[in-house]
Amino acid sequence: MRFVDEYRDGAAIAALAARIAARATRPWTLMEVCGGQTHAIVRHGLDALLPAGLTLVHGPGCPVCVTPLAVLDQAHALAARADVTFCTFADMLRVPGSTTDLYTVKARGGDVRLVNSPLEAVALAAAQPDREVVLFAIGFETTAPANAMAVAQAAARGLTNFSLLCAQVRVPPAMTRLLEAPDNRVQGFLAAGHVCAVMGRAEYDAIAARYHVPIVITGFEPLDILDGIARCIEQLEDGRAMVENAYPRVVADDGNAHARRLMEEIFEVRAQTWRGLGDIAASGLALKPAYARFDAVRRFGVAAGAAAEPGECRSGDVLAGRLAPTRCPAFGTRCTPEHPLGATMVSGEGACAAYYRYRAAATT
């Protein structure tokens, strides 16, 4: 298929690996921000093609994984209500909160529905006006336009039984948090192409200039990722630090103006708590006052409580790039996709899930 097979060509992959090896003269540490890129790296064994001393660390680019326990507990409380139809994407179903998960809530009688689009939740609200419909709105800037569209349509249709539990997060502030950490070792980033397809590159230009760090906007196929690594290494070896768009078939420099306008109409920037990274200023999105009637927390009064991460789970360290999944003592033994201790093992974009799926036999 076009844009798949041609980006998995063996000869082209070998040529890019040789280009990287020829340019890397010293140790470097790069972070791929997106969990989808992590899965591609592990699935295709791309890290094994890199020269010794060139290290890839996995970033917090899994929105399921960075959703804090307190928000998960709010979701489970809402889903357990007799008057609520709770809509979620499938990747949230088995993510553990403090005491349960949505799968268990559903098994106990909660009306939990899996949707493929936020607009399906709007349609449900219109079809059953006697029930409250709550959409679990998580994700990076990639999903925010669709969630904003759901609110806009609910408002246009005059629906009074639709609301969001909003846990939308923004990538650039998280990158800044990582770079400012005392133990930071990231020297270059592979930025998530789908996020930049919406937002463009402006925020990344500012980060590259301020912290003198190369950022390469990268896709998700093997050649995309190796090309991003090669460009990052070339910048580092040359002493340069800029944003390069290595994914021009999808990403325009100014992103998607229509999607951004819709986001800006519905949402405002706020502080947000991230699992593994803590509270980060300006890293989340909340409904603007004009749309506060669609805020499930306000509507149902489910304030976020104190929720302590399980001590045995090291997912926070994995998300911050401080720990490789296979270095966690619980990996593959007490923590598996069937019995996960944390979201990084059960999410479709989680780093622990990638290593378990593609390399468990070699590492456990």
Type of residue found at 207: I
Answer yes or no: is 355 within a domain.
no
Per the CB < 8 A criterion, the answer to whether 197 and 256 are in contact is yes
Largest separation between any pair of C-alpha atoms in the chain: 66
How far separated are the first and last CA of the chain, in Å rounded?
Answer: 35
pLDDT of the residue at 276 = 85
Type of residue found at 297: V
Taking each helix axis from N to C end, the angle separating 118-127 and 144-156, rounded to the nearest 10 degrees, works out to: 20
pLDDT tens digits, residue range 248-283?
A: 999 999 999 999 999 999 999 999 999 889 999 999
pLDDT of the residue at 364 = 43
Answer yes or no: is 251 within a domain.
no
Segments in the chain below pLDDT 50: 363-364
Range of the domain at 71: 65-170+256-300
pLDDT of the residue at 205 = 97
Rounded Cα gap, residues 222 and 5, in angstroms: 10
Answer yes or no: is 314 within a domain.
no
How far is CA 142 from its chain centroid? 9
pLDDT of the residue at 7 = 87
Number of domains into which the chain is organized: 1
| Percent share of the chain, pLDDT over 70 | 97
Answer yes or no: is 323 within a domain.
no
Answer yes or no: is 195 within a domain.
no
DSSP state of 276: T
Answer yes or no: is 219 within a domain.
no
CA angle 170, 65, 179 (to 5 degrees): 50
CATH at residue 113: 3.40.50.11740
Q: Which segments of the chain does DSSP mark as H helices, in order?
A: 10-23, 35-44, 63-66, 69-79, 102-107, 118-127, 144-156, 171-180, 193-199, 202-211, 222-238, 257-266, 296-300, 315-319, 343-346, 351-363
Answer yes or no: is 70 within a domain.
yes
Rounded Cα gap, residues 98 and 159, in angstroms: 32
Per the CB < 8 A criterion, the answer to whether 332 and 364 are in contact is yes
Answer yes or no: is 90 within a domain.
yes
- 136: CB partners within 8 A, 6+ apart: 75, 86, 87, 88, 89, 92, 164, 165, 167
Rounded Cα gap, residues 353 and 335, in angstroms: 10
C-beta neighbour count of 348 within 10 angstroms: 15
Six-digit token string for 158: 């005059």
DSSP state of 29: E
